[in-house]
Amino acid sequence: MTTKIGLRGVGKVFRVRGADRPFTALDRIDLDIRDGEFLTLVGPSGCGKSTLLDLIAGLTPPSSGQIAIDGVPVTGPGLDRGIVFQQYALFPWRTAAGNVEFGLEAKAVPKRERAERARHFLDLVGLAGFEERYPHELSGGMRQRVAIARSLAFDPDVLLMDEPFAALDAQTRESLQEELLRIWEKTGKTVVFITHGIDEAVYLGQRVAVMTSRPGRIKEVVEVAFDSRAGDLRAEARFGEYRHHLWNLLRDEVAAAQREEATSVA
Ligand code: ADP
Ligand code: MG
């Protein structure tokens, strides 16, 4: 097993204007994300999941500790990491293909190849035939597919996804989950996927990292192992056992977060 992303004693402190002391969002995070694995990350709202993803993405530097990818310290954003956010960060004035091609223009990929790659990745996410549609002509699920195609088009080693399906209806979410697993199996990318859904975490993750409420730490990393991915995993007894275990872990953390909120309001 090789480590793709290594986090060592990672902390993040925000200095908030008007507040008398700095706010610790993340504290001493140690985590090894394996090369090619699908890791899901769950934790109560506000525990620092998005902050952690931003740090791995290199959008903001850690206040302490180190993050390395393939052993090389992260010093900023890079094309080795693709990011997909919850909200569709698409350019409304560009077609689906135009959105996917955007990053390739920055990489100076020739026009013909850009168009071919855009078509390939839109096809991969199930959007063949929708290349010339504008975002407002697409459903929420389709827009999120475009966002995924766009991040895949760079061919990043690592895909960082921050609650990408949270705004979608249940049926669209389930079909996108399946598509994403298929793409992951096909491409062998390392995926870090944040969710607040326990079912989603168990369904998608080979491992589920559970975070504590403020400040965010890694509470436990749960290995999820099914005999086979064929059939309806959600109906398996083991699915229910993982779900129950994670639910217990999270219940304590959500309660802690609520207690803290109550005392800070009082
Ligand atoms: P999550 O994604 O788990 O809901 P976030 O990572 O978004 O949590 O936020 C963790 C905590 O850090 C929250 O309390 C949030 O208010 C705070 N926070 C996030 N970004 C900033 C920032 N730029 N400045 C100050 N506080 C921030
Ligand atoms: Mg978040």
Q: What is the pLDDT of residues 147-196, one digit of tens each?
A: 999 988 888 999 999 999 998 888 889 988 998 999 999 999 999 999 98
Q: Which residues have a beta carbon within 5 Å of ligand 2, which is an ion?
A: 49-50
Q: How far apart are CA 224 and CA 203, in angstroms?
A: 9
CA-nearest residue for atom 22, ligand 1, is 14
Q: How far apart are CA 249 and CA 251, in angstroms?
A: 6
Residue range 29-39: mean pLDDT, rounded: 97
User: Rounded to 5 degrees, what angle do the CA atoms 249, 205, 170 make?
Assistant: 90
| Average pLDDT score over the chain | 92
**Ligand 1 atom closest to Cα of residue 162:** 2
Q: How far apart are CA 63 and CA 67, in angstroms?
A: 11
Residue 162 φ then ψ, to 5°:
-105, 95
Please indicate whether residue 44, judged by its CB atom, sits closer than 6 Å to ligand 1: no
Does this model's pTM top 0.85? My answer is yes
- On whether the CB atoms of residues 44 and 246 are closer than 8 A, the answer is no
CA-nearest residue for atom 13, ligand 1, is 46
- On whether the CB atoms of residues 12 and 200 are closer than 8 A, the answer is no
CA-nearest residue for atom 27, ligand 1, is 14
How do residues 73-86 score in pLDDT, each as one tens digit? Answer: 999 999 899 999 88
**Ligand 1 atom closest to Cα of residue 211:** 3
Residue range 217-222: mean pLDDT, rounded: 96
Residue range 42-67: mean pLDDT, rounded: 96
Cα of 194 to ligand 1 centre, how many Å?
A: 14
CB atoms within 10 A of CB 28: 16
Cross-strand pairs, 171: none
What's the pLDDT score for residue 214?
Answer: 83
**Nearest-CA neighbor of 77 among 53, 101, 104?**
53
Confidence category of residue 17, pLDDT binned at 50, 70, 90: confident
SS (H, E, C) the chain: CCEEEEEEEEEEEECCCCCCCCEEEEEEEEEEEECCCEEEEECCCCCCHHHHHHHHHCCCCCCEEEEEECCEECCCCCCCEEEECCCCCCCCCCCHHHHHHHHHHHCCCCHHHHHHHHHHHHHHCCCCCCCCCCHHHCCHHHHHHHHHHHHHHCCCCEEEEECCCCCCCHHHHHHHHHHHHHHHHHHCCEEEEECCCHHHHHHHCCEEEEECCCCECEEEEEECCCCCCCCCHHHCHHHHHHHHHHHHHHHHHHHHHHHHHHHHHC
Task: Give the number of the ligand closest to the Cα of residue 42.
Answer: 1
Residue range 74-100: mean pLDDT, rounded: 92
CA-nearest residue for atom 4, ligand 1, is 46
* Edge-to-edge order in the sheet of strand 81-84: 81-84, 158-162, 190-194, 38-42, 207-211, 218-223
Please indicate whether residue 23, judged by its CB atom, sits closer than 6 Å to ligand 1: yes
Cα of 46 to ligand 1 centre, how many Å?
A: 6
Q: Does the pLDDT at position 266 exceed 60?
A: no
Residue % of the chain over a pLDDT of 90: 71
**Ligand 1 atom closest to Cα of residue 44:** 3
What's the pLDDT score for residue 265?
Answer: 58
CA-nearest residue for atom 5, ligand 1, is 48
Tokens describing residue 61: 């530097």
Please indicate whether residue 50, judged by its CB atom, sits closer than 6 Å to ligand 1: yes
